[in-house]
Structure 1
Amino acid sequence: MKVLGVDIGGTKVRLGVVDDSMNVELDYKVPTAFPLYDLLEKEVLKIIDEHPDVEAIGIGTHGFVDSKNGRIVYATELLPGWTGTEVKAQLGKVTGLRVEVDNDANCAALAEAKIGAAKEYDRTVCLTLGTGLGGGVIIDDFLLSGGPNGGAAELGHMTLYPGGVECPCGRRGCFEQYVSGSALRRRIEEAGLPYTPEELFTADDAGAKKLIREFTYDLAVVISSLQATFDMEVVVIGGGVSEASDYWMEGLMEQLKPMLLNDLDIKIAQFKNDAGMFGAAQLVL
């Protein structure tokens, strides 16, 4: 079976034709342009015309997604005009194919759970430490997603510090305001340190070490709280911050161990830029 996996981001849309063994027949990128649905339909129809053996389409996208109906409940101005788009209904009508749509972090989690770092586990939580904090939860082969407001498994918007740093979601103290790439940048600025987030982890001074320890402590609290909620077997950590894990993983495990209810495996994501496309394909595989 061949399917089309589509990963929609703020700067590019990636489209890939893959089979059920995840062999890639086509890997194609176009700059994100608006109106976004018009771009999506045009590119999908072109690929289907060139690859008539494609049987279904999976789409991962930024934003809150009603995955049951394939509708974009809410997307920020990163994707203007995307909110409210009935992607599944519209694209299914013009292609005649099965179409499934979900949040991009859920798709990345699905890729890791099905064919990546967590493929040997039944209960997985994935955390994507990028600009924000994305999350995905797979319980006994079931992807926790959707809901009437598209907000299921929005782990980055659980509260870590009530009344804390204001989040773009309008609340204060969300996980992603303390455990993400942008959170690290803010904390570095507040500490008056002369580093980028990438440079921080290799810096050898007391201020940097203190900040890293605070970051890993907050990440440990996040993971232990999620364990009490989902009783997962493994946490897979991806996103840009994970690329420096050699420098902070030991500190994380040292602080996490006494917080855990049960033993828990921590893995670094196997897929990086490929996760969204492969995960979108998994929606229909």
Structure 2
Amino acid sequence: MGKIAGIDIGGTKIRFGIVSELGEVLADWTIPTKIPLYPYLEEQILRIKKEFPDLTGIGIGTRGMVDAETGIITFEKELEGWQGTAVKSQLETATGLRVEVNNDANCAALAEVQLGAAKGFRRVACLTVGTGLGGGFVFDGRIMNGSNGGAGEVGHMILYPNGLLCGCGRKGCSEQYVSGTALRRLIREENVIDPETGDLAIPQNLFRLAVDGVASAISVRERFLSDFAIVVSSLQAVLDMECVVIGGGVSDSADDWWDLLLERVEPLKLKPFEMRRAVFGNEAGMLGAAMLIID
């Protein structure tokens, strides 16, 4: 049985995995991201190909927008020189293997649908709540990519017209209100002090402080979860999905807020749907990248 290389490219690190056709991770490791990215990536992949001569394909999940058909990076401002790179065609020429490329949040969604929390559901929306707010939609086993690879950009649905300025240049995008970055701002606005340190709380501790009864932390939690529920509800109005999966770094603290989010979403539902916590953590992007090949 052949093996697939699953690669997850982030702003600071690249995670590699060797995955069986059954979705088992046989090996994985992480290296720092280096610029210029493409020659560095090709060099690493050619080395992997020598080490694993039975590779049958390479799946890549990357930050930014991707034209999934051509494998060209259509939009990415943080990784200098990455935008416009024809990753699929260049790597296929260099390796002689099939290469598929997609957005990292889409790959994480695919992993949850094929192997994780949403296995068995046909129409799924996955939300990744980390520094920003990402999304991926998988219907009937296929990622919804959109015309320019921009489908699933949940963080850039406008939640508050003329609201806070977003990095995309528009105002009021949802990731300014539902993300780790948003939590930091809310903590400052509500002046949430951690009793143990005497300093401003950090997002990782915010929901625990709310559970402990810190009034300012409860206020942040209410604002955050109310906005989160509206985002989920708006997605249902557009997608009519069967299941929503929530993952990302902020979900690490979900024990302290999950039931409250479910309570806020319930009265906003147009029809019943499932909400589930993601099964995979940091390996979701790498696993889902491999799933691009296992179709």
Alignment of structure 1 residues 38-49 onto 2, 5 Å? 38-49=39-50
Aligned to 1:215: 224
Partner of 2:167: 168
Amino acid at match of 2:174: F
* Greater displacement, 20-29 / 243-252: 20-29
Q: Which amino acid aligns with 1:265?
A: E
- What is the distance in 2 between the residues matched to 1:218 and 1:209? 14
Q: Aligned to 1:138, what secondary structure does the other structure show?
A: strand
Unmatched 5+ residue regions in structure 1? none
Matches of 2:139 and 2:70 in 1, distance apart? Answer: 21
Q: Measure the CA separation in 2 of the matches of 1:73 and 1:142.
A: 20
- Secondary structure in 2 matching 1:161: coil
CA 1:99–1:118 in 2, change beyond 3 Å: closer, same or farther? Answer: same
CA contact (8 A) 2:190 2:219 kept: no
Q: For 2:227, what is the secondary structure of its paired residue?
A: helix
One-letter code of the match for 1:47? I
Would you say 1:23 and 2:24 are equivalent positions? Answer: yes
Q: Which residue does 1:158 correspond to in 2?
A: 157
1:130 aligns with 130
Partners of 2:217 and 2:28 lie apart in 1 by: 40
Q: Which amino acid is the alignment partner of residue 84 of structure 2?
A: G
With normalisation by structure 1, the TM-score equals 0.97
Q: CA deviation at 1:153?
A: 1.6
Matched ranges for 1:93-108 at <5 A: 93-108=93-108
Q: What residue identity is the alignment partner of 1:10?
A: G
User: Is it true that 1:256 corresponds to 2:265 in the alignment?
Assistant: yes
RMSD: 1.0
Q: CA deviation at 1:24?
A: 2.3
Counterpart among 203, 206, 215 of residue 197 in structure 1: 203
CA distance in 2, matches of 1:88, 1:75: 16
- Which of residues 212, 230, 241 in structure 2 aligns to 1:232? 241
Gaps of 5+ in 2: 194-200
Shift of 1:27: 1.2
Q: Distance in 1 between matches of 2:115 and 2:203?
A: 30
Q: TM-score, normalised by structure 2?
A: 0.94
Q: Per-residue CA shift, 1:136-192, capped at 9, x if unaligned?
A: 001122210152x32122111111111111110011111111111111111111222
Letter in 2 for 1:266: M
CA-CA distance at 1:23 after TM superposition: 2.1
SS of equivalent to 2:38:
helix
4+ residue runs over 6 A deviation: none
Aligned length: 283
Q: Sequence identity of aligned pairs in percent?
A: 53
Counterpart position of 1:241: 250
Structure-2 separation of matches of 1:85 and 1:56: 19
2:196 corresponds to which residue? none
